[in-house]
Structure 1
């Protein structure tokens, strides 16, 4: 009797496997974290450049923050925090990555949304991928897809939240504004509280760009490992959307 039940169960399992549709070819857009169960890890701490770095995990809401560890799994609703000179890098399973440093707080939210509560961050998508991702702040939201963006919330908020495109097109959405502000490589805006007019886009001069890219970006250059998009950034100049558009302009 037991043998019969075992054979029947095996036959049902085999039939179930054969009846499943064949997997479709891999898409250039990896699946969103919104479809991942809350108990499924979607990212890892890939670098800890300087300490202290802490993680508050929603898998155990009663526990306090713990020290981040290299290779630590991260989940939706987890919060990563740095103090003083602390700097860390997180990489998602779908190709999204970010770095935060110096008194920063960032929460991982569903649907590829990264909520920066304080401090500064640089976010990128691995070259060749198109993963719709948003960086939200209390004052504006940046949408990126296959680009590299920098966001900084200063301690004095009246200085304005800075949105900067290191590479590619970054769309910034302001509260109560239907029109997005589009930033190309080397362009930035400062979003200040209570401003009645949209912020003005400022494009770095070529000298500013070279100085800034070479020396002044603590999150871009101060890690032992370069960003996956670093080779692209090094070939671009302010005003370009991508290497493809730059080569097309040269041909024309």
Structure 2
């Protein structure tokens, strides 16, 4: 009897010493980290003719605007501001360019839209290119297609916002008006706030054209000419292009 009990005890002990299977927790699949969107610069500060010029970057962690520097890269949503006599030229990778001055504030928006809230601005597309570009203001939008346009928002807004074509065709769209206004070389409109009548297109005569071409704001005040300067020097009011009389 004792022998049987001893054998049974040893058998139980051996069974207890065998390794038991270990339960493995279920594998949890974690989502792969989302790739960081690589946003590339679309423009740069080409020149600073006079200071001060400031940039408020949407691409950096800097919450305040900084002094603009030549060759500084610019991104969508960046803001450029000039103060006093400050003037700067910005060039895009796609051939669009502009100059601003006169206490100007401008924001770069997607799809070649340039939002001007104050100051003076001249915008162009390099000859031979057709890059749809819009200069947007609270009082109207100027669409250019391989042309050179000028927009001025005065400090006294009651004087009216000026839209002017330096060369080529500029199409102006006004708020709450379905009809577009087409400006040819040397033509302008003055858009006044709360006006009940649409602005009248005024075309400069040849004498006025020659005078303003020599002293045009932002046109002649930089050391280097804009890419469309040679066209402006040869074209006359009323022409859509040099090939068209």
Q: How far off is 1:234 after superposition?
A: 0.4
Q: Which has the larger radius of gyration?
A: 2
Structure 1 pair 38–133 and aligned structure 2 pair: CA distance change class (3 A): farther
Aligned to 2:159: 159
Q: Count residues in correspondence.
A: 209
Aligned to 1:141: 141
User: Per the alignment, in what secondary structure is the counterpart of residue 106 of structure 2?
Assistant: strand
Aligned to 1:233: 232
**Contact 1:38/1:76, CA 8 A, preserved across alignment:** no
Task: Give the structure with the larger helix fraction.
Answer: 1
1:111-150 matches, within 5 Å, as: 111-150=111-150
User: Per the alignment, in what secondary structure is the counterpart of residue 244 of structure 1?
Assistant: coil
Q: Which runs of 4+ in 1 moved over 2 A?
A: 60-63
Aligned to 1:109: 109
1:83-94 matches, within 5 Å, as: 83-94=83-94
Aligned to 2:175: 175
Q: Which runs of 5+ in 2 are unaligned?
A: 1-36
Give TM-score, length-normalised by structure 1.
0.81
Measured against aligned partners, the alpha-carbon deviations of 1:68-96 in whole angstroms (never above 9, x if no partner) come to 00000000000000000000000000000
Distance 1:38 1:122 in 2: 31
Give TM-score, length-normalised by structure 2.
0.84
Measured against aligned partners, the alpha-carbon deviations of 1:27-46 in whole angstroms (never above 9, x if no partner) come to xxxxxxxxxx7721000100
Aligned to 2:221: 222
User: Per the alignment, in what secondary structure is the counterpart of residue 219 of structure 1?
Assistant: coil
**Contact 1:38/1:75, CA 8 A, preserved across alignment:** no
User: Per the alignment, in what secondary structure is the counterpart of residue 41 of structure 1?
Assistant: coil
User: Per the alignment, in what secondary structure is the counterpart of residue 39 of structure 1?
Assistant: coil
Q: Which runs of 5+ in 1 are unaligned?
A: 1-36, 247-252
Q: How far off is 1:196 after superposition?
A: 1.3
The answer to whether 1:192 aligns with 2:158 is no
Q: How far off is 1:61 after superposition?
A: 5.3
Distance 2:38 2:190 in 1: 34
Distance 1:222 1:91 in 2: 17
RMSD: 1.0
